[in-house]
Chain A
Amino acid sequence: MAATTSMVTSLTFTIPSLGFRLPTRSYPCVKPQRRFVRKAASNVITATYELKAPPYPLNALEPHMSRETLEYHWGKHHRTYVENLNKQVVGTDLEGLSLEDIIIVTYNKGDILPAFNNAAQAWNHDFFWESMKPGGGGKPSGDLLDLIERDFGSFERFIEEFKSAAATQFGSGWAWLAYKANRLDVENAVNPWPSEKDKKLVIVKSPNAMNPLVWDYFPLLTIDVWEHAYYLDFQNQRPDYISVFMQKLVSWETVNTRLEKAKARAAEREMEEERRRKEEEEGKPTNEEDDDDDLEMYVDNDNDDSEAE
């Protein structure tokens, strides 16, 4: 495993072929996770993304979403995104990064790089299958329901708003319920972390492959409103598809689990930030390499040359 131990997992590293660094300031908890698969009869370690199956058989969502739809949507569309992503990533510095890291890197603050579409769509579809379950629908409970009622007024109003976002995403795209707990990242200021009451649930829609990871939101639920998601079952009737999705397919358990993770991540970030602030105050060196200088190692000091007369 010598090859893997030589891979330093640092929070900043350059990707020369792309000409920029993996941003870390905004994503303190994103540690690039490398996944390696040793191919049989080969000494080369390559990283590939696999097409994960939905957590239920392809016919399990009938009659609300047909087996035929799943066969094409998962078996063709989703599979193609994954296959094309692998082709795009092999042999580049993106190889081995987690899907989420590739999405952030190739989003490139809006100046999108080629692998973004396939990476984001691969992730979006994984997230979508997991957002549904046979016998889904109904109502959430506990913390999730409380937050929904706090941020939307009532569960019914949340449903209305979500359905409206999904119906009015023009062209291809997605509608999301997400947990927003990030603070403004303005370079010359340190904005306070949001208080408990500022952390909130939001409904957002996004076009094509876009998703809320790029805005540093924590997605909780999504519905695919690309036409391929509903055309075989509903033809042009997107509103009917959305209603059926809400009433019969949404897995509120999954949404709940994601919410708990979102809250935990927000708390973790705050603690991390506190620790960093305290260390700075006490003058201790920090562990995080967020100084650009650290990345370049100078063998010769400029001063040496100037002294040589």
Chain B
Amino acid sequence: MALLSSVTRRTLTLGLNSTMLLPLSRSLQTFSLPDLPYDYGALEPAISGEIMQLHHQKHHQTYITNYNKALEQLHEAIQKGDSSTVVKLQSAIKFNGGGHVNHSIFWKNLAPIREGGGEPPKASLGWAIDTHFGSLESLIQKMNAEGAALQGSGWVWLGVNKELKKLVIETTPNQDPLVTKGPHLVPLLGIDVWEHAYYLQYKNVRPDYLKNIWKVINWKYASEVYEKECA
């Protein structure tokens, strides 16, 4: 105990240097916009460069900005023991944190054609898709039907239940991450069906967007995630 208190005292006297962390409080991690591994225009004609730029630089960035703000307010409220505020902030964290989580996955779900976008999955994921859905075409048809039928804003997902090792298709409303549909669900690929994801190019014809996006879907990433969960 004596040692601990002397260490603490030394920490305090070493001063108010901002890099010195007080033992009981952890610094708050802030999030920043991940870079896209391809140019904005690289997914054309499936998704226009204009949309990619707005989607990444405006929408995703705004989720991150607001997520960081909400986390900071949450941090403060926790330290003060202000439970009302802690509870009040939950929806902002879900919206904006969810937006950040989902879009970070989305950028990895896409790839230019010359980098493998659209190439069908092979190996274990390809086999699991054929087993579970009959064929890749059948999976695509089902996801597109779910995506088109989704009312309002949300996402359509191909996920894997890591406990049961089973593939699932799910939709989530607004920016709810896939895990809100089941604690064992891991997203392999998500398609954003918020209007901002396609409106400038496809207007009200969401089914056309869904038909075309498969040309730039990055199955390599989905396979990697699948193999990690189901190895």
Does B173 contact A232, Cβ atoms closer than 8 Å?
Answer: no
Chain A residues touching B, range = 10 to 19
Bound-state CA distance A227–B196 (Å) is 7
- B59 at the A interface (CB under 8 A): yes
Does A232 contact B195, Cβ atoms closer than 8 Å?
Answer: no
Residues of A close to B152: CB separation below 8 A = 171-173, 207-209, 226
Residues of B close to A171: CB separation below 8 A = 152-154, 173-175, 194
Bound-state CA distance A236–B196 (Å) is 8
Residues of B close to A228: CB separation below 8 A = 195, 199, 204
- A231 at the B interface (CB under 8 A): yes
Does A72 contact B196, Cβ atoms closer than 8 Å?
Answer: no
- A64 at the B interface (CB under 8 A): no
| Closest-CB distance, A226 to chain B (whole angstroms) | 7
| Closest-CB distance, B201 to chain A (whole angstroms) | 11
Does A226 contact B62, Cβ atoms closer than 8 Å?
Answer: no
Question: Could you give, for residues 23-47 of chain A, a 1 whenever the CB lies within 8 Å of some chain B CB and a 0 otherwise?
Answer: 0000000000000000000000000
How many A-B Cβ pairs are below 8 Å?
A: 52
Interface residues of B in 55-69 (CB under 8 A from A): 58-59, 62
| Closest-CB distance, B87 to chain A (whole angstroms) | 17
- A76 at the B interface (CB under 8 A): yes
| Closest-CB distance, B146 to chain A (whole angstroms) | 16
Which residue from chain A places its CB closest to the CB of B91 in the assembled complex?
A170
Question: Could you give, for residues 189-215 of chain B, a 1 whenever the CB lies within 8 Å of some chain A CB and a 0 otherwise?
Answer: 000001110011001100000000000
- A131 at the B interface (CB under 8 A): no
- B21 at the A interface (CB under 8 A): no
| Closest-CB distance, B37 to chain A (whole angstroms) | 23
Does B151 contact A231, Cβ atoms closer than 8 Å?
Answer: no
Chain B residues touching A, range = 20 to 34
- A117 at the B interface (CB under 8 A): yes
Bound-state CA distance A117–B152 (Å) is 10
Bound-state CA distance A170–B59 (Å) is 13
Interface residues of A in 167-209 (CB under 8 A from B): 170-173, 207-209
Which residue from chain A places its CB closest to the CB of B96 in the assembled complex?
A170
Residues of B close to A173: CB separation below 8 A = 152
- B95 at the A interface (CB under 8 A): yes
Does B204 contact A235, Cβ atoms closer than 8 Å?
Answer: no
Does B195 contact A231, Cβ atoms closer than 8 Å?
Answer: yes
Selected contact of B204 from candidates A77, A117, A170, A207, CB within 8 Å: A77
Residues of A close to B173: CB separation below 8 A = 171
Residues of A close to B59: CB separation below 8 A = 236
| Closest-CB distance, B171 to chain A (whole angstroms) | 13
- A256 at the B interface (CB under 8 A): no
Question: Could you give, for residues 140-160 of chain B, a 1 whenever the CB lies within 8 Å of some chain A CB and a 0 otherwise?
Answer: 000000000001111000000
Bound-state CA distance A77–B206 (Å) is 11
- B54 at the A interface (CB under 8 A): yes
| Closest-CB distance, A123 to chain B (whole angstroms) | 15
Besides A170-B174, A173-B152, A209-B152, 20 more A-B contacts (Cβ < 8 Å) are: A72-B203, A76-B204, A77-B204, A117-B151, A170-B95, A171-B154, A171-B174, A171-B175, A172-B151, A172-B152, A172-B195, A208-B151, A227-B153, A227-B194, A227-B195, A227-B199, A228-B199, A235-B200, A236-B58, A236-B196
Q: 26 interchain pairs (CB within 8 A)?
A: A72-B203, A76-B204, A80-B204, A170-B174, A171-B153, A171-B154, A171-B173, A171-B174, A171-B175, A172-B151, A173-B152, A208-B152, A209-B151, A209-B152, A227-B153, A227-B194, A227-B196, A227-B199, A228-B195, A228-B199, A231-B195, A231-B199, A232-B200, A235-B54, A235-B200, A236-B58
